[in-house]
C-alpha cells in the first residue's frame, strides 16, 4: 500500500499569561500518562489560520477569543512526519504528518488555575 504524501494543515497555540508563563496541558486522551502539549489541531476547510487557532484554543482549554489576544504567527510552517508505524493510520490514513503554523497569544486576564 502506498503511503500518503499529504500533510495535515494545523495550527498550534502558545498561550502566554501576564507573568510570561506558557500554558501546557496534560493530555487526557492517551493510554499512557504524562503526555503534555500546547493546544493544537487541524484547520477546517475554508478556515483562516488565526480563526483555527482561536477555535482550537477554545475547544481544548475553554479560553475564548475575548480572553486572549493575537500576537503573531510563524512566518513559515513547520512540517513533520508521523512515526512510520502511525502513517496511514491516523486521520483516516490521508496524511503522513502535519504542517503547523504556530500562534503566540497573550492572555491579559487573571490566571485563576
| Model confidence pLDDT, tens digit, residues 10-48 | 999 999 999 999 999 988 876 667 789 999 999 999 999
Average pLDDT score over the chain: 89
Q: According to the per-residue pLDDT averaged within each range, which of 7-11, 80-84, 90-94 is highest? A: 7-11
Q: What is the pLDDT of residue 29?
A: 73
Long-range CB pairs of 62-68 (<8 Å, 24+ gap) are: 63/15, 63/107, 67/107, 67/109, 68/15, 68/105, 68/106, 68/107
Q: What is the pLDDT of residue 65?
A: 93
The domain ranges of the chain are: 7-20+36-107
Specify the pTM: 0.83
Assigned CATH class of 7-20+36-107: alpha beta
Strand partners, 14: 104
Amino acid at each position: 500500500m502506498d503511503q500518503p504524501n499529504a500533510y495535515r494543515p494545523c495550527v498550534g497555540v502558545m498561550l502566554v499569561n501576564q507573568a510570561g508563563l506558557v500554558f501546557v496541558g496534560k493530555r487526557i486522551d492517551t493510554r499512557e500518562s504524562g503526555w503534555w502539549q500546547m493546544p493544537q489541531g487541524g484547520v477546517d476547510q475554508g478556515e483562516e489560520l488565526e480563526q483555527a487557532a482561536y477555535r482550537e484554543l477554545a475547544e481544548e482549554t475553554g479560553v475564548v477569543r475575548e480572553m486572549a489576544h493575537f500576537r503573531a504567527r510563524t512566518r513559515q510552517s513547520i512540517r513533520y512526519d508521523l512515526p512510520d508505524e502511525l502513517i496511514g493510520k491516523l486521520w483516516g490514513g490521508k496524511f503522513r504528518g502535519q504542517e503547523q503554523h504556530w500562534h503566540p497569544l497573550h492572555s491579559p486576564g487573571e490566571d485563576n488555575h
